[in-house]
Amino acid sequence: MHSKHYQGLLLMTVYITFGACTELTFELPDNEKECFYEDLESGVKFDIDFQVIAGGNYDVDCFVTDPMSNVLYQERKKQYDSFSHTTASKGVYKVCFSNEFSTFSHKIVYLDFRSGEEHPLLPDMNRASALTQMESACLSIHEILKVVTDSQTWYRLREAQDRMKAEDLLERVSYWSIGETLFLFVVSIGQVLMLRSFFTEKRSDVNTST
């Protein structure tokens, strides 16, 4: 998968050997649209998972089109979603994310794109005969590892999302604390000046009466 107009900051890219899988996290600025392109054969199944990790209301527009520009998927202001499709024709399929509805907040989006069938663990695993105990154990471990990988991805996204929320909260608290400190400093100076003015007025009254 590649982007012809890549303007976001690529934070992480992971390529997985089974099938064709691409995981990436990218920055989507405000009033911008980011598209990714994948050249696929006919009859190939692909799956898309995306989630907005940070920014604004954690939402983004997403749409997928085929080589004839037919819209296969289109959703507005989604925080996360999944989409599966089997290609009907060979060509370049486009996946786009739009933040054009936002005027000041940029987003960080996670995308997982998978296409094709998973390669068998062993060369002869597709044979018609029954699997041996060793092959069954390998297949079971492989399925468990896939679940673990998906869980790790989910926890990694939640950790990144919570960390960014905490950093944003810390920044707001810091600004609020600085504002309160400046306000108290100004109030203190104002009180001192007011008290000095009282004593100055009393001295003036005493001198006048004398």
Task: Work out the pLDDT band at 207, boundaries 50, 70, 90.
Answer: low
pLDDT digits (tens, 9 = 90+) for 13-36: 333 334 567 888 899 998 999 999
Task: Work out the pLDDT band at 206, boundaries 50, 70, 90.
Answer: low
CA 170 to the chain's CA centroid: 20
The residues with which 71 forms a beta bridge, in sequence order, are 65
Distances (CA, A) of 113 to 31, 39, 84, 152: 24, 13, 10, 17
Domains of the chain: 1-119 (2.60.120.380)
Pull the structure tokens for residue 100. Answer: 């054009």
Put the strands of the sheet holding 45-54 in their side by side order: 10-16, 20-28, 107-115, 45-54, 80-86
CA angle 99, 27, 45 (to 5 degrees): 80
Q: What is the pTM of this model?
A: 0.63
Give CA–CA dist 109/95, Å, rounded. Answer: 13
175 compared with 165, residue with greater pLDDT: 175
pLDDT digits (tens, 9 = 90+) for 114-165: 887 766 666 665 555 566 777 777 778 877 887 887 777 777 777 777 777 7
Q: Strand ranges (DSSP E) for the chain?
A: 10-16, 20-28, 33-40, 45-54, 60-65, 71-78, 80-86, 91-98, 107-115
- Contact (CB, 8 A) for 103 and 30: yes
Taken in order 119, 124, 127, 133, the sign of the CA dihedral is negative
SS3 assignment, position 174: helix
Looking only at the bridges linking them, the beta strands covering 80-86 and 45-54 are antiparallel
Give CA–CA dist 73/85, Å, rounded. Answer: 9
